[in-house]
Chain A
Amino acid sequence: MDTLLQQLINGITLGAVYALVALGYTMVYGIIGLINFAHGEVVMIGTMVAFTVIVSLAGSAMAPLMILGIGVAVSVVVCMVLGWALERVAYRPLRHAPRLTPLITAIGMSIVLQNVAMIIWGRNYITFPPMIGKHIYEFGGASFTNVQIAIVTLAALMMLGLIYLVHRTRIGMAMRATAQNQHVAALMGVDIDRVIAMAFIIGSALGAVAGCMVGSYYEIAHYQMGFMLGLKAFTAAVLGGIGNLAGAMAGGLLLGVIEALGAGYIGDLTGDFLGSHYQDIFAFIVLIIVLMFRPSGLFGERTGDRA
């Protein structure tokens, strides 16, 4: 029982992070039908930038929480610019190219960003300095920390903010219209280039925050961390129905929980043949099952068509 509760708590924390990253994939896919495989690297850069800011401010007289806040803010701004630049430099010139071309470019950009990060931050694991004094709470035989509470709360707030933005603001209306019919949206006066850029910018901002969460949670960062994180978030987006915002949120949470439960019980299931470090296989088992039996995802209302 306590394993179940514990892994649910861990899974929801992880899932909140996956959901934020998955939103970046799904927003871009919903609007231009591109799977931006470099998005995981944007998240990684977000972690790294926050790390650098926090380390360089750590000796100052500022309160740790203040330092963390500045780190997150700088990371968000850097990632927004990075997301904008990616679209501008790598994807916009290929807007009318065959679909495989931007996809391969995305993989290329992901490799480029990894290497740039390796040059800047080195090839070793770096320790992400904990800025929140950790408190551990006990609950029904399981424990959770204030960092986990912060992650889940912040993620929930950001998702609510995104829902508000998409459904209640002018730019949100423009984004939905563009996702549904790009040509007609332009006829209504929507500047399509601007909307596409916004999708990248907002997705990258969410990714940057997710990156800071991962750093604070695991207290470790690495230039290749974006690869696995991106792949799992992409899986979460597919699980929820790629292109669908609510789907990305639900898919992220679900994947986090599946993975945590899998990690918690894999030893029992295999008679201790496989340990919890095999937790990564669950995400991909989920991906394969979804692609086999429900390629449009849990919330996917559309199959085949591309906005």
Chain B
Amino acid sequence: MLEVNGLRVSYGGIQAVRGISFHVNEGEMVALIGANGAGKSSTLRALARLLDPAGGSVRYRGKELLPLPPHALVAEGIALVPEGRGVFPRMTSLENLRMGAYARSDKAAIEQDLEQVLGHFPRLKERGQQLAGTLSGGEQQMLAIGRALMSRPRLMLLDEPSMGLAPIMVQKIFEVIRTVASDGMTILLVEQNAKLALEVSQRGYVMESGEITVTNESTHLLADPKVRAAYLGE
């Protein structure tokens, strides 16, 4: 479904991503793990066009994505849950969710999806009229995921969904990610919490200094002594 070839990202001459290649199959959850600064988020941000890649190709359902303007991606079925949530702080939770469906025009289906998302996150229903900026970190993360779902994506890019959350909240968020994935969503998950990411995903790529160094099925990666030593704290 997604095929990335030779993707490069630079920040003023410093290469953060050095020509990496990977792919995500339809219906699969793939984890991109690695230490802080390895280039995982840069990769995801380049895919979502929050920054312009220095080179490479990104093919999605047979179509080259890089020439498209950033706002065209959502119509292709790609949704990013950005690092740090990126909710609209001075809009209510409901308005945030509706912004997720901004590119859609099928009103009846939007209302249906809204009900479904609120079903996933009863907490957001209670907080519907509250400004998103006043929600807790975990609630904001739920909102960001819900908002992404509202665009009816085929591919979800999740950037560090566990970051800055209490362990109990992390469990909740990952439960939802699991549910969404089991409904057939294709997911590319970038996560510093390697153990958690490998537990929910089918395959994983390990990034180190801007390059992919190891790739395998997640269960194998979880058992790999080198991965365990470097990323699972053993």
A interface residues, Cβ below 8 angstroms from B: 170, 173-174, 176-177, 180-181, 183-192, 301
Contacts and interface: CB of A to CB of B under 8 A. Distances in A.
B73 interface: yes
B50 A188 contact: no
B161 to A, nearest CB: 15
A188 B147 CA distance: 9
B82 A188 contact: no
Given A173-B95, A187-B48, A188-B99, A180 B90 contact: yes
26 contacts: A173-B98, A173-B99, A176-B88, A176-B90, A176-B91, A177-B91, A181-B89, A184-B82, A184-B86, A185-B88, A185-B99, A186-B50, A186-B70, A187-B48, A187-B70, A187-B73, A187-B74, A187-B79, A188-B71, A188-B151, A189-B73, A189-B102, A189-B103, A191-B69, A191-B71, A301-B90
B143 to A, nearest CB: 12
B80 interface: yes
Nearest to B101: A188
B80 A187 contact: yes
Nearest to B70: A186
B228 to A, nearest CB: 35
A301 B89 CA distance: 12
A129 to B, nearest CB: 45
Interface of B: 48-50, 69-75, 79-80, 82, 86-91, 95, 98-100, 102-103, 147, 151
Secondary structure at the A interface, as helix, strand, loop or mixed, is helix
A180 B91 CA distance: 9
Most chain A CB inside 10 Å of its own CB: which residue of B69, B82, B86, B88: B88
A174 B102 contact: yes
B88 A189 contact: no
A191 B48 CA distance: 14
A186 B75 CA distance: 12
Given A173-B95, A183-B50, A184-B82, A190 B102 contact: yes
Contacts of A192: 71
Nearest to B148: A187
B71 A170 contact: no
B50 A170 contact: no
Given A173-B95, A183-B50, A188 B102 contact: yes
A186 B91 contact: no
A187 B81 CA distance: 9
